[in-house]
Amino acid sequence: MSGYTSFTMPKRSSKLDMNQLAKRIVDEATGDAEKTLPPPEKNKAAQELGRLGGKKGGKARAEKLSSQERSNIAKIAAIARWGNVLPIGRRMALKWRKTLTKSDAQQDTRGAKMPFLRFIKGSIAGDHTTWFRDEFFSDAIWSKVPKHPYQEETKIKIHVVLAGNDLGERTMRIDHDPTRAGNHSAPTTHLHYDSRTRQALEAVDLSGHSVVVERDDLGKYHLTVL
């Protein structure tokens, strides 16, 4: 038989025992301890008023936001919901991509140099013969071209970056002729380079590089050669 006696330490009670409680009452009465009050019961009516106040407060804060702030908040929410495809009313931000040919890149070829970018099908899933006119550049103001009954044209502001060289915002002309599609579904829409963009392309051979043309969620256009 062992000479040691085993015993179990008593568990501490999370509640005050009667002696501790009595001391606490005396201390509080004499000012030697801060009074401990039970948490007040939640008033359901007050909670409901607070909830309604929060709703009204949110609306009031929204009304104080500038249009740009509201646009930024809407953009963040749209990205969270849609990813990289952002809604503009009922429409979406759009992107088109292709590889630059020698002609697109304003480099010498066997034929005459064409000072424009042809919008072939590229990366889009839709019909390229109508998509650029009816979707991508639908915000632009189009007008008929004199002496060409089927041809339309417009001018847009487009931000240009060529292989890291930022040319800023340029003004370019776009023309569209649906009859071009009769020639083996040829591109019906052309983007005509402005003189500065054309000269920059001629100076460095970017053929074989990817060109991306985008319309962002604010309706602004971008042309980037990667």
| Radius of gyration from C-alpha coordinates of the chain | 35
pLDDT, tens digit (0-9, with 9 covering 90-100), for 62-84: 666 766 566 556 655 555 554 54
Instruction: Please indicate, yes or no, if residue 32 is contained in any of the structural domains.
Output: no
Instruction: Please indicate, yes or no, if residue 217 is contained in any of the structural domains.
Output: yes
Residues 165 and 71 grouped into a single domain: no
Count of structural domains within the chain: 2
Residues 120 and 56 grouped into a single domain: no
The percentage of the chain sitting over the pLDDT mark of 90, rounded to a whole number, equals 50
Q: In the numeric block, which tokens belong to residue 132?
A: 């650029």
Q: Is 106 exposed, middle or buried, given 0-12, 13-18 or 19+ CB atoms closer than 10 A?
A: buried
Which one has a higher pLDDT value, 118 or 17? 118
Residues 71 and 125 grouped into a single domain: no
Write out the residue range of the structural domain in which residue 153 sits: 93-225
Provide the whole-model pTM: 0.59
pLDDT, tens digit (0-9, with 9 covering 90-100), for 7-22: 455 555 444 565 666 6
CATH code of residue 189: 2.40.330
Residue 96 has a pLDDT of 96
Residues 121 and 191 grouped into a single domain: yes
Residues 114 and 213 grouped into a single domain: yes
pLDDT, tens digit (0-9, with 9 covering 90-100), for 124-149: 988 999 999 999 999 899 999 998 88
Instruction: Please indicate, yes or no, if residue 169 is contained in any of the structural domains.
Output: yes
Residue 52 has a pLDDT of 58
Contact 102, 207 (CB under 8 A): yes
Contact 160, 199 (CB under 8 A): no
Q: What is the DSSP string of the chain?
A: --S-----PPPPPSS--HHHHHHHHHHHHHTSS----PPPPP-HHHHHHHHHHHHHHHHHHHHHS-HHHHHHHHHHHHHHHHTT--EETTEE-EEEEEEPPTTTTT---SSPPP-EEE--STT-SS-HHHHIIIIITTTS--EEETTEEEEEEEEEEEEEEETTEEEEEEEEEEEE-GGGGGTTS---EEEEPPHHHHHHHHHS--TTSEEEEEE-TTS-EEEEE-
Residue 110 has a pLDDT of 86
Q: What is the mean pLDDT of residues 30-34?
A: 58
CA distance 195 to 163: 18
